[in-house]
Amino acid sequence: MPVVPVMPTLLSLVAAACFGVASVLQHIAARRESPELSMRAGLLISLARRPGWLLGNLLDVFGVVCQFVALERASVALVNPLLVCSLLFALPLAAFSARRRILAGEYLSAAAVAAGLAMFMVLERAGPGRPYAGALAWAIMSCVLAALVGLAVALARGPLSGRSPVLLATGAGFAWGYASVVTELAAHLLRHGVLSTLSSWAPYMMIASGAVGMLLAQSAFQAGELATSLPVLTVIEPLVAIAISKALFGEGIDLHPYALAGELAGLAVMSAGVFALARREVPEEGAFEGA
């Protein structure tokens, strides 16, 4: 019977807790900003003056450090699924901060999202691929992702504005999924030296796409409840990263019948949980002051 490594497991859960608490702090701060700032750089500038939001970002940084150390000692197949548990920390805390009781259905839906995504990430077992891709492939992928992010923003401002938290979270997930793959490329380039890395487009696109993702995520938090936007963001980001890595780096996905059946089952459970959370509407009753 395989032994689960204790330290990487604990570090992964600490990282998940940090990400979950950070999301709640950022959501509380974003909800207090003027709606006119949505999807504008001024939103991030205004949020940067709120201690609670800054604390959330510090927790994000600490969570990334814990994730990095865990990945040095264990596989992605162990660490990444545990990070999805951030939902299970965030949603009860968000309900508590809004002074309302979290419903049993919310627990079940959040657990379904976490379990479904974890099942998919464990079973897909992406194999090693090429660390680089051609300039044309990157250009096409970048244009496709930019178009998808733009479409999400346009729909959030258009006839589907009632679903703006979901749409903006989707756009943020696309941007952050792309950013994570560009970060992987930048990490490979760093092996050839700092100057070689800085002469490449990768670190600058990493910063730009990360900033776009941050703006859209905070706008999604500002537009509605955390239970509506965070599950979508949690799901879209890794799936987009997996899809891009497969397309550009040739990272394989396990397509054996049993693994494929499990992957599809995980996606179905995850989608059902996201849909259940996204369609619920529970009025907020207030939030803690001072964020």
Answer whether residue 260 is part of any domain: no
Q: Sorting pLDDT into bands at 50, 70 and 90, what band is 73? A: confident
Answer whether residue 162 is part of any domain: yes
Q: Which of 37-46, 51-60, 201-210 has the highest mean pLDDT?
A: 51-60
Count of domains for the chain: 1
Answer whether residue 245 is part of any domain: yes
183 pLDDT exceeds 70? yes
Range of the domain at 191: 129-252
Q: What angle do CA 232, 25, 157 make, to 5 degrees?
A: 45
Q: State how far the alpha carbon of 66 is from the alpha carbons of 86, 233, 266, in Å.
A: 13, 21, 26
Judge contact between 56 and 26, C-beta under 8 A. Answer: yes
291 pLDDT exceeds 70? no
Cα 253 to Cα 28: distance, rounded to the nearest angstrom: 38
pLDDT at residue 154, rounded to an integer: 92
* pLDDT, average across residues 35-58: 92
pLDDT at residue 282, rounded to an integer: 46
Answer whether residue 53 is part of any domain: no
b/e 80-112 (16+ beta carbons within 10 angstroms → b): bbbbbbbbbbbbbbbbebbeeebeeebeebbbb
Q: Sorting pLDDT into bands at 50, 70 and 90, what band is 236? A: confident
Answer whether residue 208 is part of any domain: yes
Q: What angle do CA 134, 135, 141 make, to 5 degrees?
A: 95
Answer whether residue 197 is part of any domain: yes
Residue keyed to tokens 């670190």: 203
Answer whether residue 121 is part of any domain: no
Answer whether residue 117 is part of any domain: no
* pLDDT, average across residues 156-178: 86
pLDDT at residue 290, rounded to an integer: 46
Picking from 56-70, 110-124, 138-152, 204-218, which range would have the lowest pLDDT averaged per residue? Answer: 110-124
